[in-house]
């Protein structure tokens, strides 16, 4: 991935880009980083990049024409790249945004400075604006580094084991605590569960600790963490009826669901679906294909099963209630979609625009259940 950073402080990046994970990524050719000096696009002999604000007020504003030339050069050097302006006014960077940006062919990170950047840059020249948090930095350079680091570790081959990206904090709520030798230091013990070598016990302990920590420290993430233990069962029938190419739609739908919602397990209950797409990333996710839904549902007896209904009817659970059930679930949740509700399942009301048996309806449903925007506003 080509990443071009436009800045008035090109040397800011000197020390960190050669080091650690970013240094390794660059060495291996996974990312190529170009630093571009914004002043090179100024036209006067003083290389002026800012001017006084219209309407008065303190500080200077970065000039639109200078940014225009710099961004045009960047788009030429990195065709198809997504151009991002770093600003505290932007959308908040999170893991989902990092994953999304890691799929772009290239990135252009525009570092704002001073009191601001002429609004026409945001309105007409960039694809999006990102903030790394609700505080004001002296400039976008530190924010660009944060974005670059978060995105780079999502690229294949940057972090050694795919597993450590998979267990990152936020991918599944907060991460479990880690310890290393010595087992006791100044009387501070490491948990006995981690020392016995019993993998099932270690896994159970880690899951429980991660869940406890998430609900105590970040209740806002708890529903998202619960989503991590969701299994999604796609039944072919409803989709086959709804669309002309059910096989590729199921594969596309399955992939999107796994990636976007980071479901711990995805089970596609279809006989002949082309699963190559789904399996492409199976090393990152616990994706399984099983032949019959009955087989799956028998295994999921201890779990709560929620069926996402095709048709709205009386006594179905509204989305807020479904979310509450998911967040409160002790063991996993199985969501089923397509076909009739399995015995004993809670049935959830769709309330969706358009036909509820289309794959897009499933996506809309999952958005309503796990979408961060919804979680923030409720």
Enzyme catalytic residues: 88, 115, 153, 168
Q: State which residue, 138 or 331, has the beta carbon closest to ligand ADE.
A: 138
The residue (of 137 and 148) whose beta carbon lies closer to ligand ADE is 137
Taking Cα atoms as reference points, which of 222, 257, 125 lies closest to residue 267?
257
66 or 143: whose CB is closer to ligand ADE? 143
Nearer to ligand ADE, 135 or 188 (CB): 135
Strands 128-131 and 82-92, sheet pairing: parallel
Residues 73-92 that bind ligand ADE (CB under 6 A): 86-88
SS3 246: helix
C-alpha pair distances (Å), 216 with each of 43, 94, 193, 211, 222: 55, 20, 21, 9, 9
Joined together, the tokens standing for residue 198 give: 């019993």
To ligand ADE, the closest distance from the beta carbon of 90 in angstroms equals 6
Structure tokens at 270: 């279809």
CB of residue 309 vs ligand ADE: minimum separation in angstroms? 42
Strand, helix or coil for residue 9: coil
What is the rounded distance in angstroms from the CA atom of residue 211 to the CA atom of residue 120?
44
**What is the footprint of ligand ADE within residues 102-161 (CB under 6 A)?**
112, 131-133, 135-137, 139-140, 143
- What is the smallest separation between the CB atom of 59 and ligand ADE, expressed in angstroms? 13
Confirm if 175 and 169 have CB atoms less than 8 A apart: yes
Residue whose entry in the numeric block shows the structure tokens 């699963």: 275
Q: How far is the CB of 23 from ligand ADE (least distance, A)?
A: 23
Residues that bind ligand ADE (CB under 6 A): 86-88, 112, 131-133, 135-137, 139-140, 143
């Amino acid at each position: 991935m080509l990443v071009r950073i436009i800045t008035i402080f090109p040397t800011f990046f000197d020390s960190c880009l050669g080091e650690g994970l970013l240094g390794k990524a660059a060495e291996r050719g996974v990312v190529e980083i170009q630093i571009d000096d914004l002043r090179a696009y100024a036209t006067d002999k003083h290389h002026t990049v800012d001017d006084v604000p219209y309407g008065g007020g303190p500080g200077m504003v970065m000039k639109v024409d200078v940014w225009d030339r710099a961004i045009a050069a960047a788009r030429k050097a990195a065709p198809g790249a997504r151009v991002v302006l770093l600003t505290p006014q932007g959308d908040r960077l999170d893991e989902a945004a990092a994953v999304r940006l890691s799929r772009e062919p290239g990135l252009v990170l525009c570092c704002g400075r001073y009191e601001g950047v002429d609004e026409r840059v945001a309105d007409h020249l960039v694809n999006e604006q990102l903030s790394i948090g609700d505080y004001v930095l002296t400039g976008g350079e530190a924010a660009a580094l944060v974005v670059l680091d978060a995105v780079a570790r999502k690229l294949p081959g940057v972090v050694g084991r795919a597993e450590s990206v998979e267990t990152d904090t936020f991918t599944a709520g907060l991460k479990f605590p880690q310890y290393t030798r010595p087992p006791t230091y100044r009387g501070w013990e490491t948990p006995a569960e981690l020392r016995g070598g019993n993998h099932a016990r270690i896994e159970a302990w880690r899951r429980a600790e991660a869940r406890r920590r998430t609900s105590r420290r970040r209740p806002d993430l708890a529903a998202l963490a619960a989503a991590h233990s969701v299994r999604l069962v796609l039944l072919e029938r409803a989709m086959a009826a709804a669309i002309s190419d059910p096989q590729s739609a199921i594969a596309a739908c399955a992939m999107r669901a796994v990636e976007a919602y980071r479901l711990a397990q995805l089970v596609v209950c279809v006989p002949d679906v082309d699963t190559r797409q789904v399996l492409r990333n199976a090393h990152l996710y616990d994706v399984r294909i099983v032949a019959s839904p009955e087989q799956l549902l028998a295994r999921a007896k201890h779990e709560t099963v929620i069926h996402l209904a095709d048709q709205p009817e009386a006594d179905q659970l509204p989305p807020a209630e479904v979310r509450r059930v998911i967040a409160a679930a002790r063991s996993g949740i199985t969501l089923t979609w397509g076909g009739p509700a399995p015995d004993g399942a809670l049935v959830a009301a769709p309330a969706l625009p358009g036909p509820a048996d289309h794959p897009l309806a499933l996506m809309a449903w999952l958005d309503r259940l796990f979408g961060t925007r919804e979680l923030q506003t409720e």
